[in-house]
Amino acid sequence: MVEGVRCMDSTIKLTLLLIFFRIACASTVEKNFEQCERAVKNWALSSLQQGINEDQHTLKDLLFFLHVPRTGGRSYHHCFLNKLYPTSQECPRSYDKLRFDPSKAKCRLLATHDDYSIMEKLPTEKTSVVTIVRDPVDRVLSSYEFAVEVAARFLVHPDLASVAKISEKMLKKANGVSTLDIWPWKYLVPWIMGDLFARRDTRRRKGSSEAKRDSPYDMEDILMPLHEFIDEPIVHDIVHNGATFQIAGLTNNSYLAESHEIRHCVQEHKSLGQHVLDVAKKRLGAMLYVGLTAEHKESATMFANVVGAQVISQLRNAKVSMDTSAANQSDNSSSSPLDSELESNVDQNNGTINKKTAMQDEGEARTENMTVAELIEVYEGCISSLLKTQSRRRFASLKEISPANFSKEARRHISDAVLLQIKTQNFLDLELFKYAQKIFTMRRVQPMGNLDMNDESESKFDQPRAFKLWKIVSILMLFILLLVFFLFATAWGRSSKVKVKGFTKATGKNHRRFVESKSLLE
Ligand SMILES: *[C@@H]1O[C@H](CO)[C@@H](O)[C@H](O)[C@H]1NC(C)=O
Ligand SMILES: *[C@@H]1O[C@H](CO)[C@@H](O)[C@H](O)[C@H]1NC(C)=O
Ligand SMILES: *[C@@H]1O[C@H](CO)[C@@H](O)[C@H](O)[C@H]1NC(C)=O
Ligand SMILES: *[C@@H]1O[C@H](CO)[C@@H](O)[C@H](O)[C@H]1NC(C)=O
Ligand SMILES: *[C@@H]1O[C@H](CO)[C@@H](O)[C@H](O)[C@H]1NC(C)=O
Ligand SMILES: *[C@@H]1O[C@H](CO)[C@@H](O)[C@H](O)[C@H]1NC(C)=O
């Protein structure tokens, strides 16, 4: 019995300790939150103030194609922009691993995975921005598949050491850029590659334990299962909410010094995401063009009409004045622009560099006489050959990890739990995507209509206040609980001394209370 009393005593002490610990913890979290809130709000305020574009519908001197990875932007770059702009007018550092060099101006097209913060280096008032937005779940799945696909190409090599050797050679030989130089693939692909090689080694050591499952997203003896992938820190850092962070200029690849602090704050305190979302939405609304990956045909047509038509007339006007100098320039333009997802120069069979294949269809500046209808025609021809090339490469890569094979059909069998988790993780991109859909629908109806949808974005999550209220309530409840504990402890101590007979009953009751109050704490 005395044992029991002592035990009860120490349990109570422990509980009290835990409660105090929680309160102490809560106040550090509170402090951290307040610091974060200040940083995020300051950034948002200054971002919202700068660069108000009075005329978003007119193409400016420089076109910045903000290419969010895995949105299908490659086909726009390769089959529209490369056809429209002579190579000499593409900014020299597009998609390069090196940072953009603004001193080499005179360029009219910048297409890159760099985030919006690169605008700091551009003549903002002379720049038009375009982008494409995709359903975030599809984008995450596609990022996974693409990272695996590119990494799998290297499985033709016996081990990672020989991959490293080959890559070094490639770097020396190449004046072009490979996928491995481009953010975010330069992080994702080597990481997945290491994982694929490790799993292959394990398989070989153990002998083939043909544990065949039919979903390529869950074949852990061959590749990292999807549900593991989406929880990895690197994926949190550079894939989840990637579109929002890229448009906000807050990626892991940002030019903005405070971007890392702000991104981490938002990852830690979800309610602060609203500020980032507000900035991204405002910028999206001010862009010359916003396409949707899933509405491909309509997006491409709109691109041709809105962007293509203006590029054509702009270049035609420019042509007249600089016809002669262009002739000299074009000789010197062979530093070819390369595509991002640049399934690039890495030959599918042996990982060596190929001569740039795009040379074959280098639609070099036939632009001055082109009509929009012709542009669309050129685009369609280009895209069908691009798709063929891509699927050939994909087939060759996936052969390396057979029987894993990604397909639309296989995607349908991904569990609801995993899909839900991706949605939760991409809560900002989900909102941004909805907003992009609205912009798209509106511009489809009235291509030059002005968008003013900012009113509804304000009210939606007024979370910071709700969050504070919740904290106050929870602290109050803790104190009430404490009080109850003290009362019980005293009452129980007294009664156990006096009424030994009633002991069992009292303990039982107290025990139940204890359990109840503990569950309240969870
Ligand atoms: C970006 O993320 C990758 C992967 O998590 C990391 O290796 C890299 O150091 C990060 N870069 C910066 C500037 O934080
Ligand atoms: C183009 O180059 C030729 C010689 O290569 C030169 O005579 C001519 O002046 C140049 N034109 C311009 C506009 O630079
Ligand atoms: C081409 O560029 C090289 C250096 O990159 C330069 O030496 C040469 O004069 C240029 N040629 C023309 C025709 O501009
Ligand atoms: C790689 O493949 C290309 C063509 O597919 C071939 O020309 C080249 O010789 C191969 N290189 C090696 C090292 O096997
Ligand atoms: C473009 O039009 C001009 C006259 O308008 C013509 O002389 C020229 O041949 C045309 N070029 C092409 C490629 O059709
Ligand atoms: C993957 O599946 C597709 C059909 O969905 C098929 O056409 C293709 O050949 C398969 N690829 C491999 C490498 O087995």
User: What string of H, E and C letters represents the secondary structure of 247-289?
Assistant: HHCCCCCCCCCCHHHHHHHHHHCHHHHHHHHHHHHHHHHCCCE
The last residue of one of the domains, among 420, 441, 461, is: 461
CA of 150 to the centre of ligand 4 (A): 18
Whose Cα sits closest to atom 7 in ligand 6?
Answer: 395
Give the pLDDT of residue 256: 92
Give the pLDDT of residue 315: 82
Same domain, 355 and 502: no
Could you tell me if the CB of 328 is within 6 A of ligand 3?
Answer: yes
Q: Which residues form the pocket of ligand 2, taking CB atoms under 6 Å from any ligand atom? A: 324-325, 328
45 in any annotated domain: no
Could you tell me if the CB of 369 is within 6 A of ligand 5?
Answer: yes
The last residue of one of the domains, among 430, 461, 492, is: 461
As a whole number of angstroms, the distance between CA 107 and CA 88 comes to 7
The last residue of one of the domains, among 424, 441, 461, is: 461
Could you tell me if the CB of 350 is within 6 A of ligand 4?
Answer: yes
Pick from 58, 5, 70: nearest CA to 426: 70
User: What string of H, E and C letters represents the secondary structure of 311-355?
Assistant: HHHHHHHHHHHCHHHHHHHHCCCCCCCCCCCCCCCECCCCCCECC
Burial of 17 (0-12, 13-18, 19+ CB in 10 A): exposed
Same domain, 12 and 60: no
As a whole number of angstroms, the distance between CA 197 and CA 202 comes to 9
Give the pLDDT of residue 467: 56
Same domain, 475 and 455: no
8-state DSSP, 149: H
Count other C-beta atoms under 10 Å from residue 509's C-beta: 13
As a whole number of angstroms, the distance between CA 249 and CA 258 comes to 11
Whose Cα sits closest to atom 12 in ligand 5?
Answer: 369
Count other C-beta atoms under 10 Å from residue 197's C-beta: 18
Q: Please, what is the end-to-end C-alpha distance for the chain in angstroms?
A: 29
Count other C-beta atoms under 10 Å from residue 117's C-beta: 19
Same domain, 8 and 75: no
Give the pLDDT of residue 277: 97
Q: Which residues form the pocket of ligand 1, taking CB atoms under 6 Å from any ligand atom? A: 187, 234, 237-238, 252, 260
Same domain, 221 and 315: yes
Same domain, 313 and 398: yes
Number of domains in the chain: 2
Give the pLDDT of residue 426: 98
- Collapsing DSSP to helix, strand or coil, 131 comes out as strand
As a whole number of angstroms, the distance between CA 453 and CA 475 comes to 38
Q: What are phi and psi of 127, to 5 degrees?
A: -120, 135
Q: What's the domain range around 8?
A: 2-40+466-521
Residues of the chain with pLDDT under 50: 96-98, 324-365, 448-464, 498-522
Count other C-beta atoms under 10 Å from residue 326's C-beta: 16
Reported pTM: 0.72
Closest ligand 3 atom to 329 CA: 14
As a whole number of angstroms, the distance between CA 276 and CA 109 comes to 27
Same domain, 322 and 449: yes
- Collapsing DSSP to helix, strand or coil, 448 comes out as coil
Same domain, 253 and 105: yes
Same domain, 369 and 473: no
Whose Cα sits closest to atom 13 in ligand 5?
Answer: 366
Same domain, 326 and 245: yes
Count other C-beta atoms under 10 Å from residue 336's C-beta: 16
Q: CA 234 → CA 192, 237, 238, 242, distances in Å?
A: 11, 5, 6, 12
Residues whose CB falls within 8 Å of the CB of residue 163, separated by 6 or more in sequence, listed in order:
154, 157, 193, 351
Same domain, 162 and 308: yes
